[in-house]
């Protein structure tokens, strides 16, 4: 099928950037991103590009080049589905918070709503592409809903998981390690796969476009995230060992990473991985394994999450212990709230959990993040329901200036690895703080020797 119109349901961190790049590389295809969230669509359409709903370096340039030409953002879902030959489902698939599989399984209600909507409004054959991350064999469920509810038109389902990472999304989309497309192997399935390959072929070399069966594609996405997160938990576990032995975790990571069989990426120790996907996708994998009676498989992967929780807790406890086992009434400055640098996304950020533990100890936390504002920070901490909103307001404050955030604090905790933190005037910060002045570097980005020379008590992760 020759694709002239694409509709993507879900204008989020994946739908927006992915479709912007597809539109940029395929100027003859009209790409419309639709969403039920009108505010989000309005922001995607805002004239001022600094107001786009997500912050992603380089995204504004691509939006500027394509929006209004062959890239559109709209709330007219029905019309755009009906007018398109190919529909991407790129809606959220969070962990279930209710019922069977609560806290583990993926909540597929938004995906199901999309399938029902597509079935309801389609008057011609469609290729439906799973862009969201989904449990293995979801394509069968989607196909079922489409065929049972639709009005006799043919639906071909493809799996095309997204591997972009936030903060580097535009580069990841521009030069992907691979594009994965899973499809059926009858002639209709193969034709649908070819239609999608043709779209990516516009800029991705054929050697990097991998086609597989549907289930391999769906499962590979969960497995890729599980392997990446596993490396982080592995190095974080070694960070604890380093702290007890005098080895330096950064040196160990470098030494093992130079082994080409291991490789150097994803070996950076941290306060624990965050983000909307690692935890949810591993929990989903654990749930699937458990459902199939594969308890050893489930246990193996569950440990990656358990260790991540432990790492966050360990960091909070390290602050508490260093500050003489009492942080009540003491000001602690958090530099960074997003789950990694170069994004305004805070979902599952380690910052939220570390702050929660210290607030339970009655610490006074002041947060500064270059891209995350007050509203989001209070939303995140209130969402945990550990304390009343009023209590959180009394204990936690947000500053839009790093120097005032650090002023009169007893300790600074580096939570996110924003580049700007490295370039601060640390002398000026030291002078303004309570003494002894501690820096807990949760990302090991600062120069230990330099800070100690100024007078700070510096504590990195995985360093004696
Ligand atoms: P998101 O929450 O940023 O965006 C999802 C959007 O879908 C929201 O704007 C929501 O309003 C919209 N939506 C939900 N139900 C809808 C419906 N029925 N009709 C129309 N719009 C609807 O989520 P995201 O981060 O873009 O993630 C989307 C999917 O991609 C998830 O499955 C995620 O696991 C996967 N993924 C995310 C990333 C990432 O970096 N965020 C990377 C790879 C894969
Ligand atoms: C991750 C994957 O890298 C993407 O391939 C995937 O598409 C995406 O999840 C998804 O499915 O949502 P993302 O979560 O955006 O991308 O960002 P990462 O760079 O993977 O970082 C995740 C977390 O791990 C961050 O908190 C980061 O600080 C932490 N991390 C990363 C470390 O602690 N150490 C590292 O060495 C690397």
3-state helix, strand, coil in the chain (%, to 5): 45, 15, 40
Share of the chain above pLDDT 90, in %: 98
Residue 171 contacts residue 58 (beta carbons within 8 Å): yes
Residues lining ligand 2, Cβ inside 6 A = 133, 162-166, 225, 228, 232, 266-268, 270, 273-275, 277-278, 339-340
Atom of ligand 2 nearest to the CA of 14: 12
pLDDT tens for residues 285-330? 999 999 999 999 999 999 999 999 999 999 999 999 999 999 999 9
Q: Is the backbone of residue 277 left (phi > 0), alpha (psi -120 to 50) or beta?
A: alpha
Strand runs labelled E in 98-175: 126-130, 155-159
What's the mean per-residue pLDDT of the chain?
97
Nearest CA to ligand 1 atom 6: 10
Mean pLDDT of 225-246: 97
Closest to 53 measured CA to CA, from 33, 24, 68: 33
How many residues in total does the chain contain? Answer: 464
Mean pLDDT, residues 350-358 taken together: 98
* Annotated catalytic residue, options 56, 130, 156, 162: 162
C-alpha 424 chain-centroid distance: 27
Predicted confidence (pLDDT) per residue in 1-26, tens digit = 789 999 999 999 999 999 999 999 99
Distance of CA 24 to the CA centre of its chain: 24
Host H or E run for residue 61: helix 59-66
What tens digit of pLDDT does each residue of 250-274 get? Answer: 999 999 999 999 999 999 999 999 9
Q: At what angle do helices 295-322 and 278-291 cross, to 10 degrees?
A: 150
Cβ 220 vs Cβ 161: under 8 Å:
yes
Is residue 150 scored above 80 in pLDDT? no
Identify the pLDDT of residue 151: 78
Q: Of 7, 277, 333, 366, which residue is the catalytic one?
A: 277
Decide if 277 is catalytic: yes
Residue 418 pLDDT: 98
Position 423 pLDDT exceeds 80: yes
Q: For this structure, is 162 an active site residue? A: yes
- Regarding pTM above 0.85, the answer is yes
Average pLDDT score over residue span 360-379: 98
Ligand 1 atom 41: residue of nearest CA? 13
By most ligand atoms within 8 Å of CB, the mutation choice from 7, 8, 9, 10 for ligand 1 is 10
Give the residue whose CA is nearest to atom 43 of ligand 1.
162
pLDDT tens for each residue of 39-58 = 999 999 999 999 999 999 99
């Amino acid at each position: 099928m020759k694709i002239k119109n694409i509709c993507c349901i879900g204008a989020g961190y994946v739908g927006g950037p992915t479709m912007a790049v597809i539109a940029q590389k395929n100027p003859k295809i009209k790409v419309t991103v639709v969403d039920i969230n009108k505010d989000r669509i309005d922001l995607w359409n805002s004239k001022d590009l600094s107001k786009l709903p997500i912050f992603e370096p380089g995204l504004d340039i691509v939006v500027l080049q394509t929006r209004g030409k062959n890239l559109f953002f709209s709330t007219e879902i029905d019309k755009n589905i009906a007018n398109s030959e190919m529909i991407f489902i790129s809606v959220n698939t969070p962990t279930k918070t209710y019922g069977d599989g609560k806290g583990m399984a993926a909540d597929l209600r938004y995906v199901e709503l999309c399938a029902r909507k597509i079935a309801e409004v389609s008057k011609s054959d469609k290729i439906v592409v799973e862009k969201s991350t989904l449990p293995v064999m979801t394509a069968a469920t989607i196909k079922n809903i489409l065929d049972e509810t639709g009005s006799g038109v043919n639906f071909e389902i493809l799996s095309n998981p997204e591997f972009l990472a936030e903060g580097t999304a535009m580069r990841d989309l521009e030069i992907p390690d691979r594009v994965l497309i899973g499809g059926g192997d009858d002639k209709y399935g193969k034709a649908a796969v070819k239609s999608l390959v043709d779209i990516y072929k516009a800029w991705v070399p054929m050697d990097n476009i991998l086609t597989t069966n549907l289930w391999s594609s769906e499962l590979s996405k969960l497995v890729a995230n599980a392997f990446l997160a596993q490396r982080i938990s592995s190095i974080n576990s070694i960070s604890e060992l380093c702290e007890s032995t005098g080895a330096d975790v950064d040196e160990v990571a470098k030494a093992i990473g130079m082994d080409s069989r291991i490789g150097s990426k994803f070996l950076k120790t941290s306060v624990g991985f965050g983000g909307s996907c690692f935890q949810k996708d591993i929990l989903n994998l654990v749930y699937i394994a458990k459902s199939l009676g594969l308890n050893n498989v489930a246990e193996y992967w569950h440990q990656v999450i358990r260790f991540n929780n432990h790492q966050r807790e360990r960091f909070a406890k390290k602050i508490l212990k260093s500050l003489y086992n009492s942080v009540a009434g003491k000001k602690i400055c958090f530099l960074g709230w997003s789950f990694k640098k170069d994004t305004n996304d805070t979902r599952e950020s380690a910052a939220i959990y570390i702050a929660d533990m210290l607030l339970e100890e009655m610490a006074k936390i002041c947060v500064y993040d270059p891209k995350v504002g007050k509203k989001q920070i209070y939303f995140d901490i209130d969402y945990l329901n550990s304390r009343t909103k009023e209590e959180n307001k009394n204990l936690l404050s947000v500053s839009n200036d790093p120097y005032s955030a650090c002023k009169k604090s007893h300790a600074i905790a580096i939570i996110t690895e924003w580049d700007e933190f490295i370039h601060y005037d640390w002398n000026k910060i030291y002078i303004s703080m309570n003494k002894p002045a501690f820096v807990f570097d949760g990302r090991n980005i600062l120069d230990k020797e330099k800070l100690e020379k100024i007078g700070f008590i510096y504590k990195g992760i995985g360093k004696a």
